[in-house]
Amino acid sequence: MVAALEIYFDPVAERRLRTLWAALDEVRVPNLGTHTHGRHRPHVSIAVADELQPDAVAKALTGLHVPPPLALSFQHVGQFPGGVLWLGPAPTAELLALHVRVLDRLDEAGIDVWDLYRPGTWVPHCTLSMTARRETVARAVPVCCDVLPLAVTLSTAAVVDHTRGHYAPL
């Protein structure tokens, strides 16, 4: 099971990212638009854990505006082992500071997150595909580069657990 604190984009950026998912479909690249249950939204995960209780996360973040309106610019395409293809933003001081503040609050509340999402290890990204490998990547990268750089604004957040069907806006 996997739960996440996801930060979503302004409506214009969300439409652009969904258009990118559709363009990836056209070149036969599996993507989050068609992955499993189809409930994914374009997002940046700021914290991931085996389980997150939405009420506990909301309480831990009380008084902290998550996210503040925060402008980002996606500048590159990346890949994690196992076939995770993603867009990466230029890491701004504001984004990294927000991440530290959120993780500090979760730590203070005793809420565990995966080590890959700890400050100093976390790689901010917007996942495009969970299963892009070899020739799929070769088809995906030019499509992704056609939309870069891509300016976005972070605008809303939620605690989600797609496996359990949970979605709790913050």
CATH number for the domain spanning 93: value is 3.90.1140.10
Number of domains in the chain: 1
What's the rounded Cα separation, in Å, for the pair 145 and 138?
Answer: 12
Q: For 111-134, how does the pLDDT look when each residue is reduced to its tens digit (9 = 90+)?
A: 999 999 999 999 999 999 999 999
Q: For 41-61, how does the pLDDT look when each residue is reduced to its tens digit (9 = 90+)?
A: 999 999 999 999 999 999 999
Residue 7 belongs to domain spanning? 3-169
Q: What is the torsional sign of CA 84, 85, 87, 89?
A: positive
